C-alpha cells in the first residue's frame, strides 16, 4: 500500500498647514459573481484539485510555510461493507469486504510562468470477500493524474483565464451522471488526452473542451489507454441569468473503432443535452433538470436513445437546515433486441452511487422515483435518508449490474424498492466517519428472472483520514 509519513507599522510625516487634504477614494465595486448553490442530491462535481488537497503553506506543517507554489494532499480511506444477498453477485451469499484507498496529490502552480504540473497517485486494495476481486475494487499504485498545464490568467480577456491540460487526467463535469471520477467506488475513471477551459466558475460563462481516450484499469501493472475509443466534447456553462437558472448545454461524442486491435464494437454515439438548475427566489424551493438524446450508429444498428432527470427540493428555514426532495429518473432501454434500432441509453463514464445506495442502478434502461430528506442537526453532523423504487424502462432489455434480462419481456419491469440512511460526522479535525445502511427488496422482474426473492442488506462503515486540514 502506498504509504507516506508526514510530521505534522508604517511611518509618515506629520501634515503641515500647506498639506492638501487627500481626495476621497471611491472603492472599486466588488466583482460580479454568478455562483448559485447546487442543492441536488450528490450532484456537486469534485473540484480541481480534489477536496482533500491544500496549499502547502496553509497546512501548518513545519517547513512548509514558504511553499505557496505547491498544492499537496494525502488521504487514506477504508470502508467495511457487510453484504447480504448482494444482487451484483450471481448467487445468494453473505460477504464481508474491506476496501482500502490511498491518494497522494502534488501540484506545482507557481514559479514556472504559465506552466503548471500535477500528479495524483492512487492505491486501491481489497481485504476479505468470497468472490474474486475486480477492477472496481483493486488498482495497485496507479497514477490517475499526471499532466502538464498551460495557464493564462487573462488569456481570453481581463479576468477570463485560459487553461490547457495534456496528459492523464481524472475529472467531473455537469451533474456527474455522464462524466465522473466515481468517488464512491474504490477505483477512479481516468483519461489520457487534452482538455481546455476558457473562463472560470465565478464568471458569467465558462467553456470546456475535451478530446481524450478512456484508460483501462488493470488490477496490477500500469493502466493503459483504450486505443479503440475516443471521447470528444464541448460543455458550456451560462451563468448570467443565475438568479433564474444556470444553463449547461453539452455535446459529447464517443467513438469506438472495430478495426483497432482488441475491439469487437464499431459505433459512434453522439450525446446532446441540456442540464439546468436554480433556486426559486427566497422561497426555499430548488430544481435540477438534465435532458439528453443520443443518435448515431451502433453498427449494424442505428442508435436512438434518450434520458432525463427531474429533481425538485424544498429547504424550509430551520436550525437543522432540512431539505425535502423528490426525483424522477428515466433512461431508455432497447425495445426490440432483434431489430435494427438500438434504444439503450449509453451512460458513458458517469457515477452510479446516488442512483442507488446499494450501487445497483446505472443511467440506462431505468425508471426511478425517489423521495429524500437531508438534515444537518449540528454544523458537523449530516444525515440523509431516502426511499426509491425502480422499474425497467424496457421490459425486454437488461438490468446491467445484476446481469438479468428477459428478451421476451414477460417478466415485467419492477426491479425493486430501496431504503437507505447515511450519517456523516468528523471524529477529529482530520478524521471523518461515514455510517450507512441500505436495504433492497426485489420486485417481480428480479424474482422471476433471477429465481431469488431474498431482501438485500448492506450496512457499511467508512473512515477517511486527511493528512492536511
Encode pLDDT of 224-241 as tens digits: 999 999 999 999 999 999
DSSP 56: G
The pLDDT assigned to 165 comes to 99
Domain membership flag for residue 82: no
- What is the tens place of the pLDDT at every residue in 354-378? 899 999 999 999 999 999 999 999 9
Query: What are the grid coordinates assigned to 341, written together?
Result: 434500432
pLDDT band at 260 (very low <50, low <70, confident <90, very high): confident
On whether residue 293 sits in a domain, the answer given is: yes
Assigned domain for 68 exists: no
Evaluate whether residue 124 is within a structural domain: no
Q: Is pLDDT of 21 > 60?
A: no
Confidence of residue 142 (pLDDT cuts 50, 70, 90): very high
Residue the block writes with cell 477551459? 197
pLDDT of residue 5: 41
Q: What is the DSSP letter of 19?
A: P
In a domain, 404, yes or no: yes
What is each CA distance from 272 to 149, 239, 240, in whole angstroms?
A: 28, 19, 22
Q: What is the extent of the structural domain holding 333?
A: 172-193+200-466
Evaluate whether residue 135 is within a structural domain. no
- Per DSSP, the three-state class of 354 is helix
Q: How does 291-323 read in b/e, with b if 16+ C-beta sit within 10 Å?
A: ebbbebebeeeebbbbbbbebbbebeeeeeebb
Mean pLDDT (whole number) for 164-192: 97
- The closest alpha carbon to 152, from 143, 161, 144, belongs to 161
Q: Is residue 414 part of a domain?
A: yes
pTM equals 0.90
In the chain, pLDDT over 90 holds for what percent of residues? 87
Write the CATH number for 412: 2.40.160.100
Q: Is residue 371 part of a domain?
A: yes
Look at the chain and report how many structural domains it folds into.
Answer: 1
Amino acid at each position: 500500500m502506498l504509504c507516506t509519513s508526514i510530521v505534522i507599522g508604517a511611518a509618515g510625516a506629520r501634515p503641515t498647514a500647506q498639506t492638501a487634504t487627500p481626495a476621497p477614494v471611491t472603492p472599486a465595486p466588488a466583482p460580479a459573481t454568478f455562483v448559485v448553490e447546487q442543492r441536488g442530491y450528490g450532484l456537486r462535481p469534485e473540484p480541481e484539485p480534489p477536496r482533500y488537497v491544500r496549499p502547502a503553506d496553509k497546512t501548518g506543517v513545519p517547513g512548509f510555510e514558504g511553499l505557496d507554489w505547491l498544492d499537496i494532499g494525502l488521504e487514506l480511506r477504508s470502508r467495511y461493507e457487510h453484504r447480504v444477498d448482494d444482487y451484483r453477485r450471481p448467487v445468494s451469499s453473505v460477504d464481508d469486504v474491506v476496501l482500502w484507498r490511498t491518494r497522494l496529490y502534488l501540484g506545482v502552480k507557481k514559479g514556472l510562468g504559465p506552466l503548471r504540473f500535477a500528479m495524483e497517485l492512487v492505491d486501491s486494495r481489497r481485504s476479505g470477500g468470497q468472490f474474486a476481486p475486480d477492477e472496481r475494487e483493486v488498482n495497485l499504485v496507479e497514477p490517475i493524474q499526471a499532466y502538464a498545464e498551460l495557464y493564462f490568467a487573462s488569456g481570453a480577456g481581463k479576468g477570463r483565464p485560459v487553461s490547457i491540460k495534456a496528459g492523464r487526467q481524472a475529472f467531473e463535469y455537469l451533474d456527474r451522471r455522464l462524466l465522473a471520477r466515481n468517488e464512491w467506488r474504490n477505483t477512479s475513471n481516468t483519461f489520457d488526452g487534452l482538455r481546455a477551459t476558457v473562463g472560470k466558475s465565478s464568471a458569467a460563462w465558462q467553456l470546456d473542451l475535451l478530446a481524450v481516450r478512456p484508460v483501462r484499469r488493470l488490477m496490477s501493472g500500469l493502466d493503459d489507454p483504450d486505443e479503440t475509443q475516443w471521447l470528444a466534447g464541448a460543455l458550456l456553462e451560462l451563468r448570467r441569468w443565475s438568479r433564474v437558472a444556470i444553463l449547461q448545454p453539452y455535446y459529447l461524442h464517443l467513438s469506438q473503432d472495430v478495426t483497432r486491435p482488441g475491439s469487437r464494437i464499431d459505433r459512434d454515439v453522439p450525446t446532446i443535452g441540456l442540464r439546468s438548475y436554480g433556486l426559486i427566489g427566497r422561497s426555499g424551493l430548488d430544481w435540477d433538470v438534465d435532458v439528453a438524446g443520443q443518435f448515431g450508429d451502433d453498427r449494424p444498428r442505428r442508435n436512438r436513445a434518450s434520458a432525463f432527470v427531474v429533481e425538485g427540493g424544498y429547504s424550509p428555514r430551520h436550525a437543522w437546515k432540512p431539505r425535502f426532495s423528490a426525483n424522477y429518473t428515466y433512461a431508455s432501454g432497447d425495445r426490440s433486441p432483434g431489430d435494427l434500432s438500438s434504444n439503450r441509453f449509453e451512460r458513458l463514464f458517469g457515477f452510479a452511487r446516488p442512483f442507488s445506495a446499494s450501487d445497483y442502478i446505472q443511467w440506462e434502461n431505468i425508471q426511478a422515483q425517489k423521495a429524500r430528506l437531508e438534515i444537518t442537526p449540528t454544523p458537523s453532523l449530516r444525515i440523509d435518508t431516502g426511499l426509491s423504487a425502480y422499474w425497467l424502462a424496457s421490459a425486454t432489455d437488461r438490468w446491467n449490474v445484476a446481469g438479468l434480462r428477459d428478451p421476451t419481456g414477460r417478466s415485467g419491469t419492477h426491479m425493486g424498492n430501496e431504503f437507505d440512511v447515511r450519517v456523516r460526522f468528523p471524529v477529529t479535525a482530520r478524521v471523518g466517519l461515514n455510517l450507512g445502511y441500505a436495504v433492497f427488496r426485489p420486485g417481480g422482474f428480479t424474482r422471476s428472472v433471477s429465481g431469488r426473492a431474498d431482501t438485500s442488506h448492506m450496512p457499511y462503515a467508512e473512515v477517511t483520514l486527511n493528512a492536511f486540514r
